């Protein structure tokens, strides 16, 4: 392919990935990397470098819209970012040490897990426990705009959430994805933070987490501007359009279809990793 053809194909694919990523809440990274690796034969290190950059664009681009709604909790986000940034730096260092096949193998597993997760609806939990001492000391308990005025919520199990966030950061640094699914899992399931607060705070954290591994990727030569340019612009445009459509669309069916696509990509990624094609 010539540079021009390649750029256009990558832009279109990235647009689609960003669009679907926004609609399903999985983010563009989990689709962009397999697309580049499996369909266009890009080396996985270049693919995760370009994907990571697009992850920052999506996170920062969507933030302005999210803050207006007043759901995200800046204290929870900032505290947990200690874990995600250190994890991301460690993950990026591991990515530099292991083979492309090993990265592909872990990526395949994460795709299968994402496919499994995306079939589920967000959980609703009502907690009637006294406030957690550590969360209170860290001033994490807050409120968010509910149906009738501001609804207060308490945060629990800070150490557990912090530990899982380290894992989320590592995955992000290793695979060049936002790993928003794991971040939401840590906040929603472990720390019992309301789902809407979890997702918006996670979006905020994704950009900071990705920036921590971007430095390592840059000095390792994973970020190729010729590839990152169409990926970043495509995913960003796709995710902005996706976020607009999301307000009106019924995403249940789409999420189901998307889960199957992700699962197929995951199996193919695992197959290629095991047979040494990556």
Partner 1 sequence: MTGTQASWNDQRIEQIIGVLLRVGVSLSAALVFAAGIAYLWQNHAVRVSYQQFHGEAAELTSVAGVVRGAASLDALALMQLGLLILIATPVARVLFAAFAFALEHDWLYVVVSLIVFAVLMATLTGWVV
Residue 35 contacts partner 1 per CB under 8 A: no
Q: Could you tell me the two tokens for 53?
A: 């950059």
Check: CB of residue 184 under 8 Å from CB of residue 198: yes
When binding is defined by CB under 8 A, the residue of 116, 139, 159, 276 that contacts partner 1 is 139
Residue 107 contacts partner 1 per CB under 8 A: no
The secondary structure of residue 131, as a DSSP letter, is P
Check: CB of residue 38 under 8 Å from CB of residue 265: yes
Q: How far is the CB of 225 from partner 1 (least distance, A)?
A: 4
Residue 7 contacts partner 1 per CB under 8 A: yes
Residue 6 contacts partner 1 per CB under 8 A: yes
Distance CA 8, CA 11 (A): 5
User: Alpha-carbon dihedral of residues 35, 112, 275, 13, nearest 10 degrees?
Assistant: 0
- Residue carrying structure tokens 């957690």: 132
Distance CA 161, CA 167 (A): 10
Q: How far is the CB of 172 from partner 1 (least distance, A)?
A: 12
Q: How far is the CB of 215 from partner 1 (least distance, A)?
A: 3
H-assigned helices in 70-99: 74-97
Check: CB of residue 138 under 8 Å from CB of residue 9: no
- Cα–Cα nearest to 217, from 5, 74, 55, 28: 55
Residue 174 contacts partner 1 per CB under 8 A: no
Q: How far is the CB of 124 from partner 1 (least distance, A)?
A: 25
- Residue carrying structure tokens 């299968």: 112
- Of the candidate spans 114-122, 157-165, 191-199, 203-211, the one that interacts with partner 1 by CB under 8 A turns out to be 203-211
- Residue carrying structure tokens 């640094």: 173
- Of the candidate spans 13-21, 45-53, 152-160, 262-270, the one that interacts with partner 1 by CB under 8 A turns out to be 45-53
Distance CA 98, CA 201 (A): 31
- Of the candidate spans 27-35, 51-59, 247-255, 258-266, the one that interacts with partner 1 by CB under 8 A turns out to be 51-59
**What part of residues 84-103 is at the interface with partner 1 (CB under 8 A)?**
85-86, 89, 92-93, 100
When binding is defined by CB under 8 A, the residue of 104, 207, 242, 266 that contacts partner 1 is 207
Enumerate binding residues for partner 1 (CB under 8 A): 1-4, 6-7, 36, 40-43, 45-46, 53, 56-57, 59-61, 63-68, 70, 72, 74-75, 78-79, 81-82, 85-86, 89, 92-93, 100, 138-139, 142, 207-208, 210-216, 218-230, 232-233, 236
């Amino acid at each position: 392919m010539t540079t021009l053809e390649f750029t256009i194909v990558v832009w279109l694919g990235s647009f689609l990935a960003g669009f679907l990523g926004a609609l399903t809440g999985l983010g563009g990274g989990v689709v962009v990397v397999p697309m580049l690796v499996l369909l266009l034969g890009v080396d996985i290190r270049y693919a995760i470098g370009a994907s990571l950059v697009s992850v920052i664009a999506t996170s920062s681009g969507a933030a302005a819209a999210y803050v207006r709604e007043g759901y995200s909790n800046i204290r929870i986000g900032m505290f947990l970012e200690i874990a995600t940034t250190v994890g991301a730096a460690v993950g990026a260092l591991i990515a530099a040490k292991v083979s492309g096949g090993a990265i592909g193998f872990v990526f395949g597993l994460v795709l299968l897990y994402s496919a499994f997760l995306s079939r589920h609806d967000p959980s609703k939990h009502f907690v009637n426990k006294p406030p957690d001492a550590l969360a209170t000391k860290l001033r994490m308990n807050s409120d968010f705009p509910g149906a009738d005025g501001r609804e207060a919520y308490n945060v629990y199990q800070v150490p557990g959430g912090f530990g899982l966030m380290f894992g989320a950061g590592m995955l992000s640094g290793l695979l060049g994805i936002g790993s928003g699914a794991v971040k939401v899992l840590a906040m929603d399931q472990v720390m019992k933070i309301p789902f809407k607060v979890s997702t918006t705070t996670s979006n905020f954290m994704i950009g900071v987490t990705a920036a921590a591994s971007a430095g390592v990727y840059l000095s390792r030569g994973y970020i190729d501007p010729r590839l990152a340019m169409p990926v970043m612009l495509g995913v960003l445009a796709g995710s902005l359009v996706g976020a607009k459509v999301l307000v009106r669309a019924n995403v249940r069916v789409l999420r189901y279809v998307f889960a199957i696509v992700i699962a197929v990509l995951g199996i193919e990624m695992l197959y290629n990793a095991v047979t040494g094609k990556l």
